[in-house]
Structure 1
């Protein structure tokens, strides 16, 4: 059982779900591209590199969003910076 507050529990579950989604995406990418590579080699042409590169770019962008922006330190740092700015704006300058 979790001892986190409901808000933190929701955030933890959302982040874990996002990361799990990326791992599933990566697994499907590897499986499908292995199959495409086998078909490409069997046909005598090397066309499978093109879908691998295109999909690989999408997987890389997905990874950046999941691990660096939405659930990682970049997002947390930006959020903390905004909180500090808003807290400073609420203070009376006089």
Structure 2
């Protein structure tokens, strides 16, 4: 019974750590992107450098980082683990390599016995 409680406690603690990590990620995302937008709009350099940037540059960092943030959120809150097919593929490849190695070993033994 004590092991079950310890297991639950460890899982709950891990989940809280994961959620704290996501909220930290979100905070950094917001702060950095606010600073970037201020920079892009010439707040820091009066537009001397950023005046030559195309309009789409303003959106690239928030967009692509936002995709990463969404993936992090899915992993933490929706319990999305690594894809099942990836684990199955990995197991198949390990088995395949082991069989190839064993086959090569058996072929070497056969050659030595001839």
> Does TM, normalized by the shorter one, top 0.5?
yes
| Superposition TM-score, scaled by structure 1 size | 0.66
Alignment of 1:1-94 (within 5 A): 5-42=5-42, 43-44=50-51, 45=53, 46=55, 47-69=57-79
Name the structure, 1 or 2, with higher relative contact order (CA <8 Å, separation 6+): 1
Aligned residues of 1:33 and 1:48 also touching (Cα < 8 A): no
Which aligned segments of 4 or more residues in structure 1 are displaced greater than 2 angstroms?
43-46
> RMSD of the TM alignment (CA)?
1.8
**C-alpha displacement at 1:48, in angstroms?**
2.5
* Number of equivalenced pairs: 68
Aligned residues of 1:22 and 1:62 also touching (Cα < 8 A): yes
Could you list the runs of 5+ residues in structure 2 that have no partner in the other structure? Answer: 43-49, 82-114
Residue equivalent to 2:89: none
Could you list the runs of 5+ residues in structure 1 that have no partner in the other structure? Answer: 72-94
